[in-house]
A and B are shown apart, each in its own frame.
Chain A
């Protein structure tokens, strides 16, 4: 009758119990780690806004780089902005058709064949290709053959880095297209190419554009492939000659002894990062729409 002998176990967790304490401490460490990991991003952003923002004027966009002995506050890098845009454009013209057409084959026409497996594997391997290797390759294939540095070589080097990104994201996007749409297209008597061009690709387009925009954002910030393909230039864009780009400009001027050039490097970084972030945000908002 009496329950005095029966000891009920403590069902509620006591915070000071060793097991619970350990859990709390580990959670605290995790939170500290997460906060620490966010610091670099904010530090970079704040510094960019502070040091780059000081020099951010409209003049930067349409003037040429200053000479080393020009007065403080003179000059800009309009040619580098133009050069980056031009070379990323070339890279896009090569890699977007390349990537999408290959992705169509991988996702739609023959997904499980030996060629597709191999090509998919090669594309995945190429995403891990060091960007400097793309530069060395373009140097060997374009610069040595043409005999001089040019924006074409830079664009081709960048395209090597864009192709796998475009291809693999486009493949995913095409696979996400609901099956009934394919069935409907084929049921209407479409040939495979017609069903792809008129039905499947338009439906997959937001996802494909996401990948393209991400690839463009990555290419715009790449320096290593341009170092010895496009080189750098102090004058306006002429595609057959060495071409300036924002990324190489930051690299070249970062170790300059002239305060003027260092400030311009910070301003160029700010513009580059804003560009990359805007592209990222665009691709994210596009990506949200794909999930039907």
Chain B
């Protein structure tokens, strides 16, 4: 009788049954779909490279390799060169990396090295992450109407008194490299800070305790033990931050001044590849100019791909268990 209570009213037949053909069909097709989309991810990246490369190819015979080493962009005479843009891209990203990297690493130390009570730490972390959430076009607007008027007197003061230094050799007449670099460094700061924090957190607690046990001060422990131990991850963070800066478009298109000049000066207008694309593409002539822009996009794509892949590899190698991240 007791057995029958368990079996209920199925009358001795078993409740379990093999998957119905419908179940099997659903299982197979679902798994097929997931596999297909995984392949699609790989194809998508390949397709992006292929498509942009393909559109750039027709322009290659006309523009040749010297496209990369000449500095005139003139659509009425069909002469194109992007040396100033390549220089501007790398120069602005590099300057932003120095500034944003310094602040990013300092903040990562501040957050991870037990300086703060948990609640303040949490708030600071969120503020830094929100910096990354603000759209770059809003930073551009802020840069034009707030940052530029704010730094112009300082920049012109520096030019007046230290004008013999190449970095200060021009006046800041409005838009220019410096406001662009400042905004750019604000934008890469959260990236650098977040990845460096991971690098610091991956260090076992005992490492620091050992340093303190040797009688180090807090900063001796940080500078001589924690920083060198986390250096691989921090280096990766800097490379990824650099990659972000290279590809950043809107803030630069709005602030950098868009002039094809090769300059060392912080206050001169400059240009970057991404800004060139944003400013020129909508009104480009079909034909050689569009081809030249595709060529420029191709160059930008290659530079960022190389930098990002290098950064990802460094971070993965440097962080224990980084593969699982």
- The answer for the CA separation of A227 and B39 in the assembled complex, in Å, is 29
Q: Which of A116, A132, A191 has the most CB of B within 10 A?
A: A132
Across the interface, do B55 and A140 meet the contact criterion of CB distance under 8 Å? Answer: yes
Across-interface contacts of B106 in A (CB, < 8 A): 29-30, 33-34
Show 29 A/B contacts (Cβ-Cβ < 8 Å), sorted by A: A22-B219, A34-B107, A37-B128, A41-B127, A44-B138, A97-B37, A101-B33, A101-B37, A102-B34, A104-B34, A105-B35, A106-B38, A109-B31, A115-B35, A130-B246, A135-B277, A140-B55, A163-B44, A191-B24, A192-B27, A194-B27, A220-B135, A221-B134, A223-B135, A228-B282, A250-B138, A251-B140, A269-B138, A276-B134
Contact A250 B141 (CB under 8 A): yes
- Minimum distance in angstroms from A49 CB to a CB of chain B: 12
B37 proximity list for chain A (CB < 8 A):
97-98, 101-102, 105
A19 interface hit (Cβ, 8 Å): yes
Are B297 and A132 interface neighbours, CB within 8 A? yes
> Which of A133, A231, A254 contacts B300 (CB under 8 A)?
A133
The answer on a CB contact under 8 Å between A105 and B133 is no
Closest CB in chain A relative to B135 CB, distance in Å: 3
Q: Mark B11-47, 1 if CB is under 8 A from A, else 0.
A: 0000010010001101100110111111111101100
Check B294 for interface membership: any CB of A closer than 8 A: yes
The answer to whether A273 and B107 touch (CB under 8 A), given A106-B38, A126-B45, A254-B144, is no
- On chain B, the residues within 8 Å of A115 by CB distance are 35, 38-39, 42
Chain B residue at smallest Cβ distance from A280: B133
Q: How large is the interface on B (under 10, 10 to 19, 20 to 34, 35 or more residues)?
A: 35 or more
**B44–A160 CB distance below 8 A:** yes
B82 on the A face (CB < 8 A): no
Q: Flag whether A79 is at the interface (Cβ < 8 A).
A: no
* In the complex, chain A residues 197-217 whose Cβ is within 8 Å of any chain B Cβ: 197, 217
Whether a CB of chain A sits under 8 angstroms from the CB of B288 is: no
Interface assignment of A5: CB less than 8 Å from any CB of chain B: no
Residues from chain A with a CB closer than 8 A to the CB of B270 are: none
Selecting from A66-74, A85-93, A117-125, the interface stretch reads: A117-125
Determine whether B236 belongs to the interface, using a CB cutoff of 8 Å to chain A: no
B4 within 8 Å of A (CB atoms): no
Contact of A131 among B31, B110, B249 (CB under 8 A): B249
CB-defined contacts of B45 to chain A, threshold 8 Å: 122, 125-126
B41 near A193 with CB under 8 A, answer: no
The answer to whether residues A23 and B142 also contact, given A34-B107, A140-B55 and a CB cut-off of 8 A, is: no
Please indicate the chain B residues that have their CB under 8 angstroms from the CB of A128 in the complex.
240, 243-244, 247, 304, 307-308, 311-312
Name the residue on A nearest B308 (C-beta): A128
Does A153 lie at the interface of the complex (its beta carbon under 8 Å from any beta carbon of B)?
A: no
Docked Cα-Cα span, A161 to B57, in Å, equals 25
One of A118, A193, A217, A280 near B30 (C-beta < 8 A): A193
Q: Which of A29, A40, A139 has the most CB of B within 10 A?
A: A40
Give Cα distance in the complex from A53 to B293, angstroms.
Answer: 39
**Contact in complex: A132, B277 (CB < 8 Å):** yes
* Residue A4 lies at the interface, judged by CB distance under 8 Å to chain B: no
Task: Report the minimal beta-carbon distance from B125 to chain A, rounded to whole angstroms.
Answer: 11
Known A34-B110, A47-B146, A223-B249; judge A254-B254 contact (CB<8 A).
yes
Residue in B34, B115, B217 whose beta carbon sits within 8 Å of that of A30 in the complex: B115
A41: chain B residues at CB < 8 Å are: 127, 130-131, 134
A40-B131, A130-B304, A272-B135 are known contacts. Are A121 and B26 too (CB-CB below 8 A)?
no
Contact check, A273 vs B135: say whether CB atoms are below 8 A apart: yes
Closest-CB distance, B298 to chain A (whole angstroms) = 9
Which residues of chain B are within 8 angstroms of A247 by Cβ–Cβ distance? 135, 137, 250
A255, B274: Cβ atoms under 8 Å? no
Interface residues of A in 220-248 (CB under 8 A from B): 220-224, 227-228, 231, 247
A60 at the interface (CB under 8 A from B): no
Q: Given A133-B300, A222-B135, verify A22-B217 contact (CB < 8 Å).
A: yes
Please measure, in the bound complex, the distance between the C-alpha atom of A104 and the C-alpha atom of B189, giving whole angstroms: 32
Q: Confirm or deny: B301 has a beta carbon within 8 angstroms of a beta carbon on chain A.
A: yes
Chain B residues with Cβ below 8 Å from A122 are 41-42, 44-45
Does residue A82 face the partner (Cβ distance < 8 Å to B)?
no
A27-B115, A131-B247 known; A160-B141 Cβ under 8 A: no
A130 touches B300 (CB 8 A): yes
Question: Least Cβ distance of A44 to chain B in Å?
Answer: 5
